[in-house]
Amino acid sequence: EAAEYNMKMHPMWQGPLAVPGGDRQSPIDIIVQRSIIDSELKPLVTEYDPHTCQQIWNNGYSFLVEYDDTTDKSTLKGGPLQDKFRLCQFHFHWGETNAWGSEHTVDRRLFPAELHLVHWNSDKYSLFEEAVMEDNGLAVIGVFLKVGKRHEGLQKLVDALPAIRHKDSVVEFTRFDPGCLLPSNIEDYWTYHGSLTTPPLTESVTWIILKQHIEVSHDQLAVFRSLLFTSAEEEVQKSMVNNFRVQQPLRGRTVRSSFT
Ligand SMILES: NS(=O)(=O)c1ccc(-n2ccn(-c3ccc(F)cc3F)c2=O)cc1
Ligand SMILES: [Zn+2]
């Protein structure tokens, strides 16, 4: 429909839409009753240092909050992971209306938006660029957003968005604790092996999708939609909305759950 059409029109999606022979692409629909409860799955352990927050920028597809990942100051371990992973950035995907916008779905249920916290395996690799090519290279935490009460922690980020309306604009952004965007319960999650959801679509991601969503206000989400896909020079400005990928075949993969 319109949403998928808009997304496919974005330059990002011209060219091969799937990794040739890709059999672990993302996002997917999580069918709850088909997920396998794995009691071996440990709780997630996040240790985020707000001082590693560096900048926020519009990359023409979403907006990214980037962290200094030259040391192990902001890390993720535990859960399904064997190694320690460093936070390098977080970003969101959202729709033009509250009816859709998330990349993953739960029993086909769509959410208005989805947060991705992107980490890379610093036990095995020395740079993100290396890890992004490896099976066990990346770990991304996915958090669903629902429209409801205002999210106080998100507001500092929302207030920075007007300064990065156009593609390629960057502003300094410091002392932001991404932990404030996690729900109270991070013990309950689904996990599966998949890919980046935009090019290069590499199949290097251990996905960790939290069961509990966070709430943001309608007005906060509306500011996301005030961003533009286009740079200041382009004559036709396009609203940054529907920046999500369509769901991909499961190809026999198992989704594990950390909870009953
Ligand atoms: N939506 S998501 O699956 O979380 C996702 C999708 C795409 C990316 N992405 C796109 C380009 N890159 C990237 C950036 C720098 C680099 F050296 C190599 C990359 F693949 C990347 O990490 C990062 C995260
Ligand atoms: Zn993403």
> pLDDT in tens for each of the 260 residues of the chain?
566 666 667 888 777 676 667 899 999 999 999 999 999 999 999 999 999 999 999 999 999 999 999 999 999 999 999 999 999 999 999 999 999 999 999 999 999 999 999 999 999 999 999 999 999 999 999 999 999 999 999 999 999 999 999 999 999 999 999 999 999 999 999 999 999 999 999 999 999 999 999 999 999 999 999 999 999 999 999 999 999 999 999 999 999 999 99
Dist CA 83 CA 121 (whole Å): 7
Q: How far is the CA of 201 from the centre of ligand 2 (A)?
A: 11
Q: Can you tell me whether residue 106 is helix, strand or coil?
A: strand
pLDDT of residue 165: 98
Atom of ligand 1 nearest to the CA of 205: 3
Burial class (CB in 10 A: 0-12, 13-18, 19+), 82: exposed
* Closest by Cα among 238, 236, 237, 240 to 223: 240
Report the pocket of ligand 1 as residue ranges, CB < 6 Å. 116, 118, 128-129, 132, 140, 196-198, 200
Report which bound ligand comes closest to the CA of 201: 1
Atom of ligand 1 nearest to the CA of 26: 3
Atom of ligand 1 nearest to the CA of 116: 4
pLDDT of residue 13: 79
Q: In Å, how far are 45, 130, 137, 187, 252 from 84, measured between CA atoms?
A: 10, 15, 11, 18, 28
Atom of ligand 1 nearest to the CA of 127: 17
pLDDT of residue 10: 83
Dist CA 108 CA 114 (whole Å): 14
* Closest by Cα among 99, 75, 96 to 86: 75
Cβ atoms within 10 Å of 48's Cβ, excluding its own? 22
Q: How far is the CA of 62 from the centre of ligand 2 (A)?
A: 8
Amino acid at 117: L
Report which bound ligand comes closest to the CA of 204: 1
Which residue is closest in CA terms to ligand 1's atom 4?
116
Sequence-ordered alpha helix ranges (H) in the chain: 2-9, 128-131, 155-160, 218-224
